[in-house]
Amino acid sequence: MTEVSTSKTPYVFLTLGVICLLVGSYVGLFIAPREEYMGDVQRIMYVHVPTAWNWMLAVIFAFGCAIAFLFKSDFKWDARMEAGVEVSVLFALLLCIQGSLWAKPTWGVWWDWDPRLTSVAVLLFASLGILALRKFVEDPLKRAIWSAVATIIASVDLPIVYFSVKWWNSLHQQQSSPQTVSSAFHLPLRVNAFGILFLMIAFIMLRTRVAAMRLRYETSAPPLVAEGELA
Amino acid sequence: MIAALSKELLLQWRTRAQMLAVFVFGAASLLLFSFAIGPNTDAMRTFSAGFLWLGLLLSSTLTLAESFHAEMENRALEGLLLLPSNPRALYYGKAIANWLQLAILGVMLVPVMVILYDAGPKQILLMLLVIILGTAGLSAPGTLYAAMTAQVRAKQTLLPLLLFPLIVPALLASVKATSLAILGDPMEQSRAWLGLLFAFDLIYWALCGLLYGRVVEE
Amino acid sequence: MSGVVVGGWGFVWAAYGITAAVLLIYGVSLITRLREERARAAAEGEPR
């Protein structure tokens, strides 16, 4: 396997990401006007919506890597997929927390079975299952193939889950879930979106390196004599 | 594939005592669920569809894991791969056998549901159809994941962990449709749910069959 | 929904704060994990 990259690019993305998030959050928290009906609580959307966009990207990325691995059998795709799945778990967790913090003051309940958020929760559990699968399979090739298969199956399921929950929910709730941001102020949204995007890119790059190094370790033959242990 | 299917059915017939045990497990689950709601007959009838499908889902983890037990015992999985038949046929044979087993289990649990929850289906045909389509949805990905997890250390935990999030749409649709069969369907909604189930089955029977070969290759 | 949602700043701070904390902790853990992997690779004489 080729050398694992040591470029500084991810750190550049980390820095850019943090800067964007600081700027976007500042604008969203202090400068953007208070929303008409939702009040200040709507400011959560300035970080919730960007997280949601990037979560979707992470899921699609993991899906793409899974397919790439099944076709190319190159372990770098397995490393990338592992990174993608883990980052999507991270963002899904954040989405559920942010969504609950928005829902409580808005609807009075922590969870309102919104189809989008519910789909995130389902895929969160599916992704945790994939990570668990990876933990329990020792053979790198089997682990790669199986988790790729599981990732593909889970990703294909996402739209189906979304529509089924939407129908399921529509029978009971007539509310139109106003989780969109009022059109007046898009700036913090966009800036935060880039912020989280840059962070995500950095996370995936770094996490891929970790996975790649571990794979190298697993697939390399053990040294005949350990360093400094000559008989 | 017919050969694979008949082998599976023969195996199931030989181990039918195990099938009975799973039925008892399912019935016991339904009993336990009723304790969760309390002896309120109306509430129990309202939720009976959910209980039925939860019971079926839990039982499916037993039957699905069992379906690869024979192979694992004798390392027969690898032996089968050496035969000229392709793995896809093997997969469909097993998946159909599992489907049959789960559907029969579902039908057997209906009278239990009727007795415990006073939940007699008003539309028996619809009920049957939902059980057939719903268990198909459980069987396709279930058989695939059972093949994977049979070879892994923590198999009992991994199979449900992987399967349950995946079949959420099938579960939702089956419970809704069953509920309509029991409580009445004034607005003819069952068609939509059956459609969703059918689409889910179509997609996953195709996708899992496609991927199975990669899962069992050496 | 009737009326305006008043206040709720606590939730807003919690949301931003938790998001920042989670992202920070994950980033740091990644860098730490990477350092560990490199250290192990170096110790075993693998080509870095």
Question: Containing domain of residue C41, as a range?
Answer: 8-48
A89 touches chain C (CB under 8 A): no
Q: Among A161-165, A219-223, B115-119, which is the least confidently predicted range?
A: A219-223
pLDDT band at B139 (very low <50, low <70, confident <90, very high): very high
Q: Among A27-41, A54-68, A175-189, B195-209, which is the least confidently predicted range?
A: A175-189
Share of chain A above pLDDT 70, in %: 87
Looking at the domain assignment, is residue A231 inside a domain? no
Chain C contact probe: residue of A1, A25, A88, A213 with most C CBs at under 10 A: A213
pLDDT for the residue numbered C5: 63
Share of chain B above pLDDT 90, in %: 50
pLDDT for the residue numbered B51: 93
A134 touches chain C (CB under 8 A): no
Inform me whether the pLDDT recorded for A1 exceeds 60. no
Question: Containing domain of residue B76, as a range?
Answer: 2-216
pLDDT for the residue numbered C2: 42
End-to-end, the C-alpha distance of chain B in Å comes to: 21
Inform me whether the pLDDT recorded for B76 exceeds 60. no
CA distances from B136 to A82, A101, B126 (A): 30, 38, 15
Write out pLDDT tens, residues A65-121: 999 999 998 999 999 999 999 999 999 999 999 999 999 988 888 998 899 999 999
Q: Do B215 and A145 touch (CB under 8 A)?
A: yes
Number of domains present in the structure of chain A: 1
Number of domains present in the structure of chain C: 1
Write out pLDDT tens, residues A160-213: 999 999 988 877 665 555 555 555 578 888 999 999 999 999 999 999 999 999
Q: Which residue has the higher pLDDT, B75 or B133?
A: B133
Q: Which residues contact B20 (CB under 8 A, 6 or more apart)?
A: none
pLDDT band at C48 (very low <50, low <70, confident <90, very high): very low
pLDDT for the residue numbered B31: 92
Q: Which residues contact B172 (CB under 8 A, 6 or more apart)?
A: A164, A165, A168
Inform me whether the pLDDT recorded for A159 exceeds 70. yes
**Residues in chain A within 8 Å Cβ distance of B215:** 145-146, 149
Q: Which residues contact C46 (CB under 8 A, 6 or more apart)?
A: A216, A217, A220
Nearest CB to C34; choose among A47, A206, A217: A206
pLDDT band at B74 (very low <50, low <70, confident <90, very high): low
Q: Do A21 and C26 touch (CB under 8 A)?
A: no
pLDDT band at B135 (very low <50, low <70, confident <90, very high): very high
**Burial tier of A139 (Cβ tally within 10 Å: 0-12, 13-18, 19+):** exposed
With residue B100 as reference, give the H or E element that holds it: helix B87-117
pLDDT for the residue numbered A170: 79
Looking at the domain assignment, is residue C22 inside a domain? yes
Write out pLDDT tens, residues B22-34: 999 999 999 999 8
Number of domains present in the structure of chain B: 1
What's phi and psi for A181, nearest 5 deg?
Answer: -85, 140
Nearest CB to B162; choose among A129, A145, A165: A129
Nearest CB to B214; choose among A70, A125, A157: A70
State the DSSP string of B58-80: HHHHHHHHHHTHHHHHTTHHHHH
Q: Do A41 and C8 touch (CB under 8 A)?
A: yes
**Burial tier of A229 (Cβ tally within 10 Å: 0-12, 13-18, 19+):** exposed
- Mind telling me how many Å the CA of A213 is from chain C's nearest CA? 7
pLDDT band at C27 (very low <50, low <70, confident <90, very high): very high
pLDDT band at B117 (very low <50, low <70, confident <90, very high): confident
Question: Containing domain of residue A117, as a range?
Answer: 9-173+185-216
Chain B contact probe: residue of A71, A164, A165 with most B CBs at under 10 A: A164
Q: Which residue has the higher pLDDT, A222 or A98?
A: A98
A14 touches chain C (CB under 8 A): yes
A141 touches chain B (CB under 8 A): no
pLDDT for the residue numbered A231: 45
Q: Among A199-208, A213-222, B173-182, which is the least confidently predicted range?
A: A213-222
Chain A contact probe: residue of C23, C28, C36, C46 with most A CBs at under 10 A: C23
Which chain A residue lies closest to B200 (C-alpha atoms)? A160
Looking at the domain assignment, is residue A86 inside a domain? yes
Q: Where are the alpha helices (DSSP H) in chain A?
A: 9-26, 45-72, 75-107, 115-136, 140-170, 187-219
Inform me whether the pLDDT recorded for A223 exceeds 60. no
Q: Look up residue A160 and give its two tokens.
A: 């189906």
pLDDT for the residue numbered A172: 66
A194 touches chain C (CB under 8 A): no
Q: Across residues B122-128, what is the average pLDDT?
A: 88
Output the average pLDDT for chain A: 87
Name residues 169-228 of chain A within 8 A of B (Cβ).
171
pLDDT band at B82 (very low <50, low <70, confident <90, very high): low
Share of chain B above pLDDT 70, in %: 92
Chain B contact probe: residue of A133, A143, A156 with most B CBs at under 10 A: A133
Looking at the domain assignment, is residue A2 inside a domain? no
Looking at the domain assignment, is residue C2 inside a domain? no
Which chain B residue lies closest to A127 (C-alpha atoms)? B162
